Amino acid sequence: MILKFVIVCSLAIMPLSASAQTSVRLLFSNVEKIQQMTSDVRAKVNLTQQKVSQGTKNMELIYYRRDSDDSFLIVFSAPESDKGNGYLRVGDNFWMYRRNTRTFQHINRDENIGGTNAHAEDFEKRKLTELYAPALDGAGNEILFEELLGKIPVYKFEVKAIVNDVDYPKKNYWVRRDNNLPLKEQSYSMSGTLMETAYYPQYTVVDGRYIAVKMLFVDEFEKGNKTLVEISNISTEKLQDYLFTKPYLENLSK
C-alpha cells in the first residue's frame, strides 16, 4: 500500500510524573473500549501492497465477523486471479479456500492472508489489555510521555506482551490526548529491533465506536515494503449464520 503520510515528532518530550492524572493502564484501557465492536460487522476492505521485489498489488475483499462467537469470513473480489478465494474461521477451525481447485485447506491462525502481512489473528476480537501491560523503567515507573505528533498533542507510551502468542513483544503507541485514538504504533522484536510502524490517519464512528478506516503499515525490517488498508461500506446489521459455512463460500465461486 502506498500512502505518503509524513509524521514529524516534536523534539520537546516531557515525561509525566507518577502523580499525573493519566496512566498507561488507563490510556490502554480507553483505546480498547472506544474501538471495541460489540455487534456483527460487514465491510469492504481494499489493500494496496507495495513490495520492492514484486511491485504493487491491489486487492479487494469482503470481511464478515459474527460477534457471538468471533467467527469470520473473508472473500476476495479482486484481482481476478484471486476472486472467489477466501478464508473461514469458526471456533478453533481456520480454513483457506481456493477457487481454482475448489478445495479447503486447514491452516494455522498465524498464516498470512492472501500473501499479505495480515494474519488470521489480526481479525480476531482479542482484548489489548489481556495481551499487553505497561512497560516500566528502571525506577519501576510506567513509560509515558507527552509530545506533539506533527501539530497534534499526544501521549506516547510503551507496553510489553504478557502472553506468548503475539506478533511483537513490545509496542510503542502515540494516542491523541483529547480522545485517546491511536495515531501511530511501533512494534519491536524481542531483541529491540523496530519491525513495523503503523499509522492511523483516518477514523469513522459506527454505533458510537471508532473504527480506523485508513491504515498504513510500513515494514521497517524489509525497507520499502508497505501496505495501505482502506475500509468502507461498514455495516453492523446482524449477519445470517449460513454465511459462516463452507458451502456458502464454495457457492460464491460457482
CB count within 10 Å of CB 50 equals 18
Whether residue 208 is predicted with pLDDT greater than 60 in this model: the reply is yes
Cell numbers describing residue 129 = 489489555
CA atoms within 13 A on the CB side of 157: 29
**Residue range 41-74, pLDDT digits in tens:** 999 999 999 999 899 999 999 999 998 888 999 9
Note the pLDDT of residue 2.
28
Can you give the pLDDT at residue 153? 97
**6 versus 97: which is more confidently predicted?**
97
CA distance 195 to 225: 11
Query: Per-residue pLDDT tens for 80-137?
Result: 999 999 999 998 899 999 999 999 999 887 677 777 766 666 666 678 889 999 999 9
How do residues 147-188 score in pLDDT, each as one tens digit?
Answer: 999 999 999 999 999 999 888 999 999 999 999 999 999 999
Predicted TM-score (pTM) above 0.75: yes
Q: What is the mean pLDDT of residues 205-222?
A: 91
CATH of domain 14-252: 2.50.20.10
- pLDDT for the residue numbered 117: 65
Q: How confident is the model at residue 201 (pLDDT cuts 50, 70, 90)?
A: very high
Domain spans, the chain: 14-252
pLDDT tens sequence across 9-45: 222 233 333 334 689 999 988 888 877 778 999 999 9
150: left (phi over 0), alpha (psi -120 to 50) or beta: left
